[in-house]
Chains A and B, each alone.
Chain A
Amino acid sequence: MDQDTKDLINNEITNNEVCLFMKGTPDAPQCGFSMAVSNMLKILEVNYKGINVLENQSLREGIKEFSDWPTIPQIYIKGEFVGGCDIIKEMYENGELKKILEDKAINYKK
């Protein structure tokens, strides 16, 4: 991964409390898994930044290396990698997602 890509990722996860690296945008997701995570955040009314990896090939590959995670979407909360679609879905269903938002002092619909 080149330094620019690394800096870009670091900037995004530092400057946005909740970051979703996804295929497409929150309004027009291009993949079912990205849409699923995006929708869960919308339902919880979490203010998040969606970053479209399809617009940047080096970011698309770089984020996989950065997180040591082979798939997209990927969610970061306060700079910490929390998971991909399966993990977020499980956490959404069992209430752990709300708990982590609570613990990290992120606003969401209670």
Chain B
Amino acid sequence: MAMDLKEIETLIKEALPDAVIEIQDLAGDGNHYSATVTSSNFSGKSKIEQHKMVYNSLKGKMGNELHALAIKTKEQ
């Protein structure tokens, strides 16, 4: 149950092509990440909607293969 940092980035990029993404492997175990995602697609959306867009881009991996991903979203 672990996921590669690049894989996370690729999935988010696919869903939000203009996104600027910064990912950190917090514990160095491939299981606890934090991601800051900046995208113009977030504008006008609530925080819940913004985070859902990121979760959705991960296609169900969140909470399964991916144990912990702290998300911060920013509007561009």
Give A contacts to B, CB under 8 Å. 33, 64, 68-71, 81-87, 90-91
Contact B47 A90 (CB under 8 A): yes
Asked if B55 and A70 sit within 8 Å, CB to CB, the answer is yes
CB distance from B54 to the nearest CB of A (A): 10
B→A interface (CB under 8 Å)? 47-48, 51-52, 55, 60, 62-63, 68, 70-72
The residues of A that contact B72 with a CB separation of less than 8 Å are 86, 90
Contact B47 A87 (CB under 8 A): yes
Q: A33-B68, A85-B70, A86-B72 are in contact. Are A64 and B47 (CB under 8 A)?
A: no
A84 proximity list for chain B (CB < 8 A)? 51
Across the interface, which residues of A come within 8 angstroms of B60, CB to CB? 70
User: How many angstroms from the CA of A45 to the CA of B65 in the assembled complex?
Assistant: 36
Task: Out of B51, B62, B68, name the residue touching A87 (CB < 8 Å).
Answer: B51
A87 to B71, CA, bound (A): 8
* 4 A-B pairs closest in CB distance: A70-B63, A70-B62, A87-B47, A86-B71
